[in-house]
Structure 1
Amino acid sequence: MARSINKLSALKVRQLSEAGRYGDGDGLYLYISKLGTKSWVFRYRDRATGKHRDKGLGPLRDISLEQARQAARDARMVLRAGMDPIDRRRQERSESARERASAVTFGYCADRYIAAHAASWRNEKHGKQWRATLDTYAAPLLPMPVASIETPDVLRVLEPIWSTKTETATRVRQRIEAVLDWAAARKYRHTENPARWRGHLDKLLPQPTKLKKVTPRAALPYAELAEFMSELRARGGLSARALELQILTATRPSEVAGARWEEFDLAAGTWTIPGERMKAGKPHRVPLSPAALTLLRALPRLHGEDHAYLFPGSGKNPTMTTAAPLKLLKEMRPNVVSHGFRSTFRDWAADMTAYPREIAEEALAHALSDKTEAAYRRTDLFTKRASLMADWARYCETVPGEVAHIGQARKARHTASA
């Protein structure tokens, strides 16, 4: 006897309201929930387990009786072909997702990653540098479907620069890995990250620490500093004043170039550099010596603006770039770089004074390597650093011929009082 089918009618489907399951025949059912919602389900027996499975076909508001019957017929055809209708639908969705992912490029993912993390970075410049690194060194990956990138693709980017530009190559690898991890989290990739280091690329590339040759930044010997400062002060222009302020405060070139008047309290003799402009990401207070205060008070100030830059730029740059003081320095001392004056300061503090090491390190805003000590440090040693910076400024102003003698006397004085 033939199985009874098409038991329901469109009218009956509309009239039914009591919660339950109503069969149309051959596995098709109308389900009415306790809340009164109606939906279509195709019930069949799993050929492997023998258990019933229900494949949802959609709600009545979207799927008519005839459409539901056709969907049930399609499901029965899948069963007759030896496949499971639910598993087949999952496979189709997975294939569709893979097709969509194949159209998503690495460059698109890099843009989305940068946008997602921009708020956590110190400044807009960091995001631009992040993408510029990929544009310069990972250009072959940018148009590639992110789902198809594998280890050989990553190696083609890294191997040409791994030994010659090791630090840059390491940064490129880290950024590729971050973008691919983001893509995996977004389901654009379904395989392991080919840019990961541990347990993967560390087997294919030499350790960066064995390749990097650390070259100290060229620094002026502190014994030559007084003569240099005398020449620098004879120079006019904002570039000379920016370099002079950097030396007197032992700060980084970028910290001086981006300085705003609002960061300075000249009455208190304090310069507070905000965390977003510091390498460690934390605000840093700089004690201003009398020489530094004299320099600052002599700088031109546009209409008394507190929010203006100390060293305004030109054209598209709102502030002076670090290249301007460096260019001046190259004219005066071709073999020295601006950042090297921090080394000059550090060597002077170690050789010519008795200040404790942590005072000099705090003056340079260096992070403590000892995490336990860092956790218990509750002061920035400002008062002691103020004394150190005042001594440093006096040293910078010393008559060149008297540098060694005065420096040695100052060290003896600190040693005696320690």
Structure 2
Amino acid sequence: DEIKRYAVKDILPRIGSMHADAITPADVCTMIEEVAERSKSVARRLFEILSVAFDHGVPRRLPANPCRVLNVSSIVGTQQRRERVKLTLDELRAALAALPGLGRDNELAVRVLLATAVRKGELIRARWSEVDIDAGLWRITDENSKTGAGFVVPLSPIVADWFRELRELADGSLWVLPSRNASYRGRRRGEDHIGETTLNAALVRLGAKDVRDFSPHDLRATARSYLTDELGVDVIVAERCLNHALGGLVGVYDKSDYLTHRRAALALWAQFIADAEQPRAANVLPLVRPGR
């Protein structure tokens, strides 16, 4: 589905009518440059897709792969590694307060990313068949996991309620986050999931005062930092909450999924988010009146 979207939107309109053996490195370069003006990351992905397609064709009928003589970094520039943002408590409160301005579907998606610490793509490609709201479990499949190893995400009651609302908004779609518009000809609204850059674009227009620019992946970094720094969650449990592989001897001998521990940790984190947004009244009564 991902490759089909890229093909229909960017590849076919530019070179779809050409014979494959007539496509030159210059044609590929022109296409990648045009797409890079919109998104360098999409341009890189397109280059990868084209290269694989031409590699498939070379032993069959193509004389050469025109991508082989090109360096995508020379076309779109080198990727600059961006330092991850951990939102401060004040930034977190301001961002949460501004979320309703993005529309309820985007707001709920951002909240789920923050509270579950999953990768953006894992939520975007999630299907309702993989979510058991009543049991508080969301199964991310091997195919949908960046690491290639599926895992189960425990859903706290707060997050489960957000999924219930998302299910109503999905209006019968197979996708947790269905498309709002037809992605390409022949597809109806909701038959595909939202685009890979939809949530990034939403956060760009967040407009929260005194909040640094942040991406969906920064929500994951923020969750990871708060789990250990503020909530005292064990490092191994926090790493497993993010589905990080455990290195060294721990990774070799420790095969536990830590589901019970992760459920408790993410419930604690979800409550922290709720308290940051709407602080609960103190339940301690002073024995001495202020000023005495």
TM-fit CA distance, 1:245: 2.7
Q: Which has the higher strand share?
A: 1
- What is aligned with 1:409? none
The alignment covers a number of residue pairs equal to 267
1:176 and 1:195 in contact (8 A); partners too = yes
* More divergent stretch after superposition (307-316 vs 332-341): 307-316
- What is aligned with 1:247? 114
Match for 2:224 among 335, 346, 364?
A: 346
Say yes or no: does 1:180 pair with 2:32.
no
Q: Which amino acid aligns with 1:389?
A: L
- What is aligned with 2:67? 195
SS of equivalent to 2:114: helix
How many angstroms apart in 2 are the aligned matches of 1:312 and 1:201? 36
1:192-248 Cα offsets, whole Å, 9 max, x none, are: 54422xxx546x97598x822123576643443245446658998444333323322
How many angstroms apart in 2 are the aligned matches of 1:165 and 1:311? 22
1:222 and 1:347 in contact (8 A); partners too = no
2:199 and 2:216 in contact (8 A); partners too = no
How many angstroms apart in 1 are the aligned matches of 2:175 and 2:34? 41
TM-fit CA distance, 1:163: 11
Match for 1:360 among 225, 228, 238?
A: 238
Match for 1:278 among 133, 145, 158?
A: 145
Return closer, same or farther for 1:223/1:350 CA change in 2, 3 Å cut-off: farther
Unaligned runs of 5+ in 1: 1-123, 404-418
Return closer, same or farther for 1:171/1:247 CA change in 2, 3 Å cut-off: closer
Return closer, same or farther for 1:338/1:175 CA change in 2, 3 Å cut-off: closer
Say yes or no: does 1:387 pair with 2:264.
yes
1:13-69 Cα offsets, whole Å, 9 max, x none, are: xxxxxxxxxxxxxxxxxxxxxxxxxxxxxxxxxxxxxxxxxxxxxxxxxxxxxxxxx
How many angstroms apart in 1 are the aligned matches of 2:203 and 2:35? 32
- What is aligned with 1:398? 275
2:140 and 2:150 in contact (8 A); partners too = yes
SS of equivalent to 2:58: helix
- What is aligned with 1:108? none
How many angstroms apart in 2 are the aligned matches of 1:298 and 1:309? 13
1:158-177 Cα offsets, whole Å, 9 max, x none, are: 67888997655544443333
Return closer, same or farther for 1:135/1:220 CA change in 2, 3 Å cut-off: farther
TM-fit CA distance, 1:370: 5.8
Say yes or no: does 1:269 pair with 2:116.
no
- What is aligned with 1:333? 208
Runs of 4+ in 1 over 6 A off after TM superposition: 159-165, 233-236, 371-377, 400-403
How many angstroms apart in 1 are the aligned matches of 2:267 and 2:38? 42
Q: What is the CA RMSD across the aligned residues, in angstroms?
A: 4.7
SS of equivalent to 1:212: coil
Q: Which amino acid aligns with 1:179?
A: A
SS of equivalent to 2:205: helix
SS of equivalent to 1:185: coil
- What is aligned with 2:81? 214
2:114 and 2:220 in contact (8 A); partners too = yes
1:375-416 Cα offsets, whole Å, 9 max, x none, are: 76634332222222122112112256989xxxxxxxxxxxxx
Larger-Rg structure:
1
How many angstroms apart in 2 are the aligned matches of 1:178 and 1:309? 28
How many angstroms apart in 1 are the aligned matches of 2:167 and 2:52? 45
TM-fit CA distance, 1:340: 2.9
TM-fit CA distance, 1:363: 2.0
SS of equivalent to 1:278: coil
Q: Which amino acid aligns with 1:330?
A: R
Alignment of 1:126-205 (within 5 A): 126-130=3-7, 132-135=9-12, 139=14, 142-149=16-23, 154=28, 167-186=41-60, 188-190=61-63, 192-196=64-68, 201=70
- What is aligned with 1:49? none
Return closer, same or farther for 1:326/1:287 CA change in 2, 3 Å cut-off: farther
